[in-house]
Chain A
Amino acid sequence: MSTFTLNNLCYSYGSRQRDVISNLNYVFEDSKVYSIIGKSGAGKTTLLSLLSGLVKPTKGSILYDGNDISKMDPYRYRSNYVGVIFQSFNLLPHLTAIENVVLSMDISGKKITGKKEKAQMLLNSVGLDDATAHRRILKLSGGEQQRVAIARTLSYEPSVILADEPTGNLDGETQTGIINIFQDLAHKEGKCVILVTHSPYVAQMSDMVYELAVKKD
């Protein structure tokens, strides 16, 4: 069963602008880790935005479990089915790491007991200690913020994880730890993991690689 099916997917940021994405026909399945690679400006972030329902295709469609996502409630879709780790993290700077994670669980509306404990556990699993977990995002380093964003996405257990350069700010050791988490999510928990990356190492560790080319006018 394929999680995502792209049908001639096209996208441009304005009716007079060129297509950033044109005629993609990718398939993403569960229990696999995918890497999307390509030069800067190739449209990788744009593709993740499309998959997460933040923008709608200008042509073609994206099916999620056979349903056109542009016809689904975008909020429910984002807060329950897909977890997005944005390139710029999109954490709330005034909240602590734990609060950010708990907020996502709140928004998902899922019945989760012991949200705080779960948040703390997840933050520990991505390598953040309790003291860091209680600090505000403003006071965390880029790499720490990145890991909070990952923990946040895992907290409400979405069946798809979309991550924009999740290891961009991490050292080799931490990077390996994170990749292992993603691999476990795909292989042990049957989730579909889609990573955008510039790192050949990450690409090599994934089950499948798609390469986007920069479109010229």
Chain B
Amino acid sequence: MYLLKNALKSISRAKTRNILIVIIASIITISACIALSIRQSAETAREASIDQMKITAQISVDRQAMLKSVQSGDRTNVLRNIQGISLEEMLSYAKSGNVDDFYYTLTSSLNSDEATVPVDTSEVTESTEDLNTQFEGMGPGGSRRGFAGMGNQGDFTVVGYSSHNAMSTFMDGTCKVIEGSVFAEDTKEPDCLISDELALLNDLTVGDTITLINPNDEEETVVMKINGIYHNSEAAMSSGGDMMGFNAASDPANRIYTSYTALRAVVDNSEANAVVEVDETTGREISTALRGQEAGTYVLADATAYDAFQKDAEDLGLDTSIYAITSPDLDDYEQSMIPLERLSSYAAYFLLIVLIIGGAILVIFQVFAIRERKYEIGVLAAIGMNKRKVAAQFIAEVFIVTFIAIIIGTGTGSVISVPVANRLLQDQVQAVEVSQQTTMNNFGGGFEGRIPGGAGFLQGRMDGSGDADYISSISANVDIVVLLQLLFIGILLTLVSSASAIVSILRYDPLKILSNRS
């Protein structure tokens, strides 16, 4: 093939220009390589995490929607009368074919009797009130601000589970029974699990009983039997500096787990014996009954099932002006993807700009090259070389040069794309965190953050939206997909930059070129 031979000769003849073109095209390729591998790893991360994710969802009061739906004057009233969704209702939506599993919890707050001391790292006891107002802003994790008519806060948080599957912290391994065993799923007996810290503090072992007191009525006691002792691996780490130290009930070590049926019986009994008083100033009824908060968790196969479930629930009669279906998993997931998604879309714009500017530069180079080589084109045509072959030779020249640049660019790009991408990603994570922080402050602490999470609240997730787990590093390998995309970009650049050459070659009249010269 003399075409190729000629092309190579021409390239080596115009060394300076071609080296310049290689440098420019390499820069384009490196940029494209980084941008593409970021996009590719965002795609992979998205697919990987959504694939292995089991989605759970809750139905909770959508305060915002509620407030929007009523006249401004009635709003305070509406807020006061908010009722959590009942278990019966939740069960009815669980009939949706898209729900894989449904389980529920009952959460109550109780005090200890003299014999049992709660785990309490707060050294401040006198000024609790100041601290409360100060930490109100800390948001959803602080369980003090619950639903209307919550009653008094006890030292212990007792959670009753409908099934072992509902015990998410045990399912995911955060908590582990280290002595004895878990209570039976449906037992009516007040068997319970207590934390190892609580057991150690009070010298309790499996088989002992603990006595708990209704914080609203000191006469009312509940005796629970310790069936097992668990260890919470996160409690040790987190009880250090953060706010749970100021509030015994929110310390995970003071969480007592039992069966739903058992706790239900306790709460029902308390309600049956309650005394109701009317507060003189507010006119609201105050009961001495033990408060119980029910929460249900729907298990859904995937994001599609989650979407379908939202529709099903509405069809089954869920009033969306009051209640909202939310998925903390999905939220967390989306949250975790924010920096990467942002980076990915920046990468797309960046790629576009680099391609446009780089492409323009290459086109300009080619236009000048063609002008310089007009005479050559004329001679080749005059001695009988088909113009199409002349054009083919020029394309081959551009392609060879671009190809060298792609090899250099891909080589360099694959080496630096991982560190560069991770560096950029960390900047993004930081940027997102800063803006989250600002948002949090603006809203006085996660106004919408976690409030709707009826079940997520008190149940074990203490993570506020401020410290979400962002995907902060990727393994942005240059894989076969990226390589193919780069090749495509190379071909595109070649075609774009040689297009002008082809057009002028095909338009040139050899005689005119030659006679203009002489």
Interface on A for B, CB 8 Å cutoff? 49, 52, 54-55, 74-80, 84, 86-88, 90-92, 94-95, 99, 103-104, 106-108, 152
In whole Å, how far is B376's beta carbon from the nearest beta carbon of chain A? 6
Interface on B for A, CB 8 Å cutoff? 2, 6, 9, 13, 376, 378-387, 510-511, 514, 517-518
Contact B379 A90 (CB under 8 A): yes
Contact B384 A78 (CB under 8 A): yes
Bound: A103/B389 CA distance, A? 13
Contacts of A84 in B (CB 8 A): 382-383
In whole Å, how far is A163's beta carbon from the nearest beta carbon of chain B? 14
Contact A90 B2 (CB under 8 A): no
- Which of B2, B378, B384 is close to A75, meaning CB atoms less than 8 Å apart? B384
Bound: A95/B514 CA distance, A? 18
A–B Cβ pairs within 8 angstroms, 25 of them = A54-B510, A54-B511, A74-B384, A75-B384, A75-B385, A75-B386, A75-B387, A77-B384, A79-B384, A80-B384, A84-B383, A86-B382, A88-B514, A88-B517, A90-B379, A90-B383, A92-B380, A94-B13, A99-B9, A104-B383, A104-B384, A106-B2, A107-B2, A107-B385, A152-B383
Bound: A129/B244 CA distance, A? 99
Additional A-B contact list (5), CB under 8 Å, known A74-B384, A78-B382, A95-B9:
A75-B384, A78-B383, A78-B384, A90-B382, A107-B383
* Count of inter-chain pairs, beta carbons less than 8 A: 54
Chain A binding surface, main DSSP class: helix
Contacts of A95 in B (CB 8 A): 9
In whole Å, how far is A77's beta carbon from the nearest beta carbon of chain B? 7
Contact B382 A92 (CB under 8 A): no
Nearest A residue to B386 via CB reads A75
A87-B518, A107-B383 known; A92-B376 Cβ under 8 A: yes
Bound: A104/B381 CA distance, A? 11
Nearest first, the 6 A-B pairs at minimum CB distance are: A79-B384, A78-B384, A106-B2, A75-B386, A88-B518, A54-B511
Contacts of B381 in A (CB 8 A): 75
Contacts of A103 in B (CB 8 A): 2, 6, 383
Bound: A136/B376 CA distance, A? 15
In whole Å, how far is A176's beta carbon from the nearest beta carbon of chain B? 27
Bound: A88/B511 CA distance, A? 12
Nearest A residue to B376 via CB reads A92
Contact B511 A49 (CB under 8 A): yes
Contacts of B511 in A (CB 8 A): 49, 54-55
Contact A79 B385 (CB under 8 A): yes
Bound: A188/B13 CA distance, A? 41
In whole Å, how far is B386's beta carbon from the nearest beta carbon of chain A? 4
Nearest B residue to A94 via CB reads B13
Nearest B residue to A88 via CB reads B518
Contact A86 B2 (CB under 8 A): no
Bound: A78/B389 CA distance, A? 15
Contacts of A76 in B (CB 8 A): 384
Contact B382 A107 (CB under 8 A): no
Bound: A106/B1 CA distance, A? 9
Bound: A90/B384 CA distance, A? 12
Contacts of A88 in B (CB 8 A): 514, 517-518
In whole Å, how far is A32's beta carbon from the nearest beta carbon of chain B? 24
Nearest A residue to B13 via CB reads A94
In whole Å, how far is A158's beta carbon from the nearest beta carbon of chain B? 10
Nearest A residue to B513 via CB reads A90
Nearest A residue to B2 via CB reads A106
Nearest B residue to A45 via CB reads B515
Bound: A206/B383 CA distance, A? 25
In whole Å, how far is A70's beta carbon from the nearest beta carbon of chain B? 14
